[in-house]
Each structure stands twice: as structure tokens, then as C-alpha cells.
Amino acid sequence: MRTAVITGAGRGLGKATAHRLARDGFVVVALDLDGDAAVATAEEVSGVGHQCDVTDPESVREVAQHVERCDALVNNAGIWRFHSLLELSPDDASAVLAVNVLGLTYVSQAFAPKMIEAGGGAIVNLSSGAAWTNSPGVGIYPASKAAVEALTKQMAIEWGPQGIRANAVGPGLIVTEGTERNYQGERRGERGRLVPLGRVGEPNDIADVIGFLCSDDARYVSGQVIYVDGGVTAGRASL
């Protein structure tokens, strides 16, 4: 059976992706810093859940030892801190880079060899529309996601000869448990009107694109960044 490993699978985009890939026939291995949340997601999709701190290489290696094979890896775990660059503290910078950049790297290092052993696979890294728009007030988060895109292309080049495809998905304005406070009341409609397609996104909008990239339909797609944002990164609409 094909196996998909998903980080940050306890909620939001990770949970939606777990459900999508399970429907596509993958056995899902759900990883999350919150072990209970990982297990809960896994139970919903008849998969396996593990507590995992992606910033700790030893934690990642220990989990990888319990996973026999990996055909698809979704590096979804990510954090952000809301503040200006002038307010950026060393702790905030270290935390965001540790999860979004180093954590993604550690997990990929642990599971890519399993893909190579099986003859190849697909890696999908979660970037953000913020890497393109360089949104203010989110500290070092946009820079961390720009790094994700650079790492994605490097993976595609280095691991392509071993049959691994690596791509990135950049969500736009998506309502999840972690962002819903930004869409309360009239704000949801107001923010939706900023999107060319006229609405904010849902987790399944992202999960479906991830599902495509993990499928054989994307067999010749590698090293790409796909922004799933309703058209936001296409440019400003005319007034």
C-alpha cells in the first residue's frame, strides 16, 4: 500500500490533506507536535498517528524508524508570529525558521531515503502566498516561505534522478482553526472581496491540489510552486 506522511496533520490544512490522500488510497501517517491531535486525525482516516517535533532531528528520526515506506511526503507543519520587522525578537525569528525551514529539511532528510529505496515518490512542501506578496506585519514568515520554495527546487534537482518529484503549494487567504479569528463577522466577506475569485479559501481547496501533486497525474511536474489563492498573486485587480 502507498503511504503518505503528513506533518502538522492534527488540524487545518494537514487534516484536510490526510482525508484527501486517504480517499486517494494512501495509508496516512499523521505527524503533529500535538500527539493526541495526530492520533485523532489518523483514526478518522484509518491511518497511524505519531507525536513528532519537526525541529528536533532525533524526534524525526525516531518516528521515521517506525514508518516502513514513504511514497508521498507533505511538509505542512508551519508557524508564524505577527509583528513588524522592527519588533522581531531573536526568539521569534529562531522559532519560525526552526519549524518552517529547518523542520522541513529534517523531515525530508529522514523520509527521502525511503522514497529512493522504493523507486521514487512525491514531496509537497507548504509555502504561502506571503512568499510572493511579502506581506507586512508577519515578521520573518514571508522570508521563511521563500526559503521553502528555494529548498523545493533544490530537492527537485538533487533527488529527481532518484525518482523523487518535489513541488510547493502556496495557500492564499484560507480559513482554518489557526486563522479563523481573522475572518470573524463581516471581515470574511471584506477579505473575500480582495480575491479575484470573490471568496476566501477552505482547507479542501489546498488539499485537492496537494492530492494532484501526489498523484500519477503529476508524474512530470517537479520543481514548481503553485499558488492556490483565488488569483491574489496574479496582481492587483483594476478599480
Q: Give me the active site residues, please.
A: 141
Beta-carbon contacts of residue 124 (< 8 Å; ≥ 6 apart) = 72, 73, 74, 75, 166, 167, 168, 169, 210, 213, 214
Beta-carbon contacts of residue 31 (< 8 Å; ≥ 6 apart) = 5, 6, 7, 8, 9, 38, 49, 50, 51, 52, 54, 63, 77, 107
Burial of 12 (0-12, 13-18, 19+ CB in 10 A): buried
Question: In the chain, which ranges are continuous DSSP H helix?
Answer: 12-23, 35-44, 57-65, 90-97, 104-118, 130-133, 141-159, 187-192, 203-214
C-alpha cell at 183: 475572518
Q: Among residues 8, 5, 37, 7, which one has the least CA distance to residue 21?
A: 5
C-alpha cell at 223: 520543481
3-class secondary structure, 66: coil
Q: Which helix or strand (DSSP H or E) is residue 28 part of? A: strand 27-32
